[in-house]
Structures are given as structure tokens and as C-alpha cells.
Structure 1
Amino acid sequence: MDNDTHSLPLPSAHTEAMGTSEAFLSFQEHLSRVAAVDRPVLIIGERGTGKELAAVRLHYLSRRWRKPLVTVNCASLSETLLESELFGHEAGAFTGATVRRAGRFEQADGGTLFLDEIAAMPRRMQESILRTVEYGTLQRVGGSRSVHTDVRIVGATNAHLPQLAARGIFLHDLLDRLSFEVLTLPPLRERGEDILLLAQRFASSMAMELELNGTPEFGPDALRTLHRHPWPGNIRELKNTVERAVFRQGLHLAELPVNPFRSPWQPNAVTEFAESAPRTAACDSTARPLPQEAWPEETQPRTVLAEPLPEAIRRLELHSLRQALLRARHNQRQAADLLGLTYHQFRGLYRRHKQAIEQQLPPASTD
């Protein structure tokens, strides 16, 4: 069975969610209460926050735990393949379809169907799923007979589904049907004390894998990195970083190599690509660039490679926050909507840049 469509395993001690922070415990309590209600659920979260793990936990805490838990990655399959994977097909439905094949809805009958990256699902497939959710029946590709199915749908995405619905990319009706409850995973930067807890767990597991005798210890610089780095890749990035540190340094972790590409011999990626890429009108050397004065002040060309990436990201975040707050007249919920963020995501970003923002923004009007 491939990696894109498979039955998920029972959580093990190595994958069980860990944490003691208020944000983490509040999420787990919310998830536990939702698990008992046999309704569709959407799991929203940044990349690397553990959406699939949350779906697994949701299933095994529900009354459907003895039945199958089946997942489909909607972003990894073409529309034609996705339709066949979800609804199955009859023999002769298309070239190569020599036998009847049950789809993921049928395989998950009585259990849970986890639709990962649901925002990437084509519009026509959304309409088909809406019919299946509403009537509890489906038709296999190439078939005419209705097949009854009983599944609980759990969808996951890092996209802003209400905005996609407003733009006509995601069906309003399907969003209404799937959002009986929405679980939003807290990003790692909002989980405070959990960061060190998880880092110690990942370090110990890697040390065991490498057959190192002893417990890994984080030095002062490594601890500072743990708590100061924003972890945009969340738990997945933290795990990779800590395991990389143990692999390189053993049990005494003097520093955390957050950027695996850092090297004094790293090639100029932009130059290498420009020399090897086919020439087009857009990149032809005879094409004239815009005069510098035509660029907005904040986006005027700079020597990009001379500026560290974290600083460039910091300036972009600060500029976006400042503009959104000005347009929203200091209303943070409206500013979050303008940026396509949840309110909690906005608050985390705002706290990170609070001092700089307060120095640059005029005070809010008291009118």
C-alpha cells in the first residue's frame, strides 16, 4: 500500500503527542470532547504541527475506533486518480481497470476517512464528496448503482478555508457540512515549555538509534536557540534539528544546526540556476528591468544574498503587520483576516514584533 492512501497505524509511544503547556492541553481537551460526537471535523494548523497525529488520536478516542482509519492525501493525486481512489471503480471503467475496486470511502465504512490537504481537492471532487456526505451513498467510477457508506470525515489543511470559499475555490456548502467543529493546532512557538520537553525526547530517541550510551545534554547556546528560534516548521522542524545535532555532535549538544544548508562552500544558488536554466523572454539579458524608482520603497531591489534570510523574513513580517494594523485601524482580528491568518496566529506574530510595531505605528485613535 502506498504512502498517499493508507490505513493509519495505532499511535505508539514514539508518536504519541506530548506536552504540558496550556495551549497543548487545551487543544487535547477540545479534541477529546469532539471525538465522542459522531460528526465531521476539520483540523487546521501550520505545517509540522501534527495534524495527522491529531486525526489518529481523534479516531481512536471515538466510538469508531475498532473500525478502519483510512487516509487520502488530496494534494498528491490528480483529479482522475483521486476520484478512483475515493469512490472506487467498476471493471472496464477505464484502461487498465480489469476488476472492480472498492474506493477509500468503502474501505473506511464504519470508521473514519481522513482527507489530508483537503484544500487542494479539485472543485468537481468537492461536489462529489458533498453528495456522499449528504446522502451517505456513492457511485463507483463507471458504475450506476448506489453504494451505501457510513464514514466520519476528518479533513486537515493549513489553508484558510473561509477565504478559499469566499474566492469560489472551496465549496461553501461542503465547508458548512465539514465544519461541525474546527480544531486549530497551536504552533510550537506558542507552546513554551513543550519545546524543551519535545527536544529532550527527540534527542534521547536519536541517541538510542545511534547506540550512544548516555543522555544528551543541551548547552547554553543550544538552549537559547530552542527558545528563540520561531520554528516555522514546528514539531517536524524541531525533530529534524535535534536529531541532526545528536548525529553531528553526540551527547553534548553545544549548538543546534537549524539550517542544514549552512556551509562556507555553498554555491550561489541564484547564479547557478540562471546559468543552467533555459533562456526565456522573462530572463533574457536583453530584457529591461523596471527602473528602481518604479519599485515601492519597501520592495526596492537589494543585494538579497548579502542579507541573512532571518532578517529579511523579520522585515517582511514587520511590514505586513504594520500595514494590516493601519488598514484595520488597530483592530487585531480584522488585521488577522487581512493577512489570511487566524487570530491566534496573528497574536503569536504580533507578540514577536510588539516592541518594533509600537515604536513605528501611530497610537490608535480614540474617536
Structure 2
Amino acid sequence: MNTARSLALAAAAAAALALGIGATTLSATGTGEETLRLHLGSDATQFVYSNGGDPITQAIGTPKNCQITVTGPLASIEGSDRGPGLKDGSVGIKTGGSTGVPCARVDSTEFLTVGLEAVPNAVRASLDLELKGSVRVDVTVSLGGTAVETFQVRAGGGIVPGQGVDGSTTAPYTATATTAQPVVNCRNASDSGPDSGPNDNCYVTIEPSSEFDGVKLQPVSGEVSLEGSWDFGNDPAFDTIFYLTGYTGELGCTPENGTATIDQGNVYGTFTRLENPDGTDCVLKPYTLSADVVAETLSFVPVDVDPPQLAAYRGTVAFAPKLASNPVTNQLEYDQDDDGPIEFALMPWCAGDPFANPDVPGSIDTGVIPDGDTWCIVSETTKVYSTTQVRTEWDVVGIGDPKMR
């Protein structure tokens, strides 16, 4: 294998290892509901991933001058100005707000974001929010860096009679925002200040119409803190919780458990996992396989387990048929990481037969993948789809978790 290719594979392996937490990565053994919790209690400050198997944790370190750095691997927290801060179970912005309280609040000149990293996308979330003043907080969910929907949480003087859906009338205050009813009112008309235990919190559930991997909190007026059960006596029922899509399945390295297929609308893809190119023993990998029929994209995202592994795959993909008079418009593009922002590039042709001289028996020759790429095209076949249309199928090999179109 050439030196440049070795460095590329080493970088890919390092990226896979970066998904791990200590010696552990996402559990592939669970069968329960998949969640990612943000627990900000006096007993622990951490994200916790669970799918019914052994929970996986990502600790949030001790604040330095009340500032925190949260960069994954399960989730990240970012913010405007000098970034996020943590004080007494409340995440805010380091610079503080109009009241001069640093770290614990976000005011109308600031914003705070939570991003999902090595976990599936979320379908809904329950947020433990502490609200101060005449509050209107925009809660925007995004996918791959693109905004999907915006909800608004109101409290106290921020509530306009006759607008929005009212939440519960007694503590603990709860409310649910949906696509059909995106504005919710919390805590009646109380402008309760901070440090009132659960009386100044609202446990808000947001239910967008599509998946998301990021949440942004930005007050229009008043102030907000992101919490996770501190004011509820560390009760995990009031953690900030992201409910995840769950994995499509698990891939091994045998014909019985190593193939994933999707055939949805005009998008088709089948992927078979091969032996690991470095010769390590095969460990089941959870994965997601999804299609966007409108955008004509296909996402194949394997996720590392314990121990992290660099895996190899072969696949066949096809998209909507094209006019037979202009088949040259058929080109296969891919985004190497499928983790946003989306950066499509033409998938290159393999520099040789990937199966003629595999790195190990049952795998592929990773040296035929051009430097700087993680997948390549083995062959291309154009098939007659109708009297006026043809459909191109591409046979591909590679490593990683691409989005294709």
C-alpha cells in the first residue's frame, strides 16, 4: 500500500476511534428505545446514550471560570460570544446576560446550540428550560446545518392572550410544541425569576415533522437556561432528552448478516460488508440506511462499536432514470462523511480491480481507492428502463459512511 493511502486509512481509523468514549463506543446489544439524555444534576453532568443495552456516557468536564467545552463524541454544545458556560445545573453563555449572571443564561443577544454527533438523528426532544422574565424563546431544529422548523416557547409577559397552546397550569410545568401548533405558553402568566426550583422551569417537548440533529435556543425577549433535572432533585425524568430514530440494523461479515438493502421510490442501494481490511475480527456494526426520494440521495451510515473497526464494503446504487437521449447526465456523487454540511464531489473510478489483490482474504484492495477518497466506482451499467428512459447502476467499494446521489 502506498504511503499516501496508508495515511488516508490511518486518518479514517482515527476518525472511527474518535467516536469512542474511553475504550467504549455505542452499544450494539440493546433493543429498547434509543435516547440521548443531557443530565445536569448535582450527582453528574453528562450526556448518556442508551438503546436498552449498556448506557454510554460523555462527561461534561468541570467548568473553568464557569466556561465549558463540549465537543462530542455523542454531542456538542456551542454558543455565541465566548461560548457555553455551566453554573448550578444551568447551561448558558459565558458572557452572561443583562442581569450580569455569567454562564447560566442566554439573553436576546445570544444563542446556544446542541448538536448530535455519533448517534442517530432525533425525531423529538424534551427540553428542561428555565425561563426568566417576559420570555419568548425560538427553538430551531436543524439537519446537517440547515434549519428544519422553528418553535416558540413563551412565558410571563411574553404570552399573548389567544395565541399559542397553553401548557399545564401547575408545577411541574409542561408543554408540547408541534408542527401544527408551534407556539406554546408555559407557567401561566408568571414572570418568575430564577432560583425558584421547578417553579421557573418548563419541560417543553418539541415534535418536528422530520428528523433533526441540532437544536438552537435563541431568546427574542427574556432569558433562558438549558437544564437537565437539577431543579427537579436530579430526577432523570426531567433530563433534557433526545428521542432518536434508532438504527436500521446491524452488519456482520457473513452473507447471512452482512447485507443492507433499500428500494424506495427511484432510489435503490444495497451494501455488503466485507472482511475488515486490516485483518481484525469482525464485530457487528449498527447502521442506518435511508433515502430522500425528492432529493434523490441515499445515506449509508455505519457506526462503530467496541472495539472500533475500519470496515470495508461493496455496494450497488441507482437513482431515477434519465432520458435515453442524454445518458451522460448520469454521474455518481458522494459526501464522504454524511455528517453535514453536505459537500458532494464526484466519486472517482477505482484505480484497479479491488478484488484481485485484497488487503486480506474476503476484503478489498484499499490501495485502488484514489488518495483523498474513501469510495470508488468499480463498474457502471446502463439499463433500459422504458422506451425513452435508461437507468444507470454503479458498483462501488469503499470505507466510511457516505451520502450518495
Structure with greater helix percent: 1
TM-score (norm 2): 0.24
Give the structure with the larger strand fraction: 2
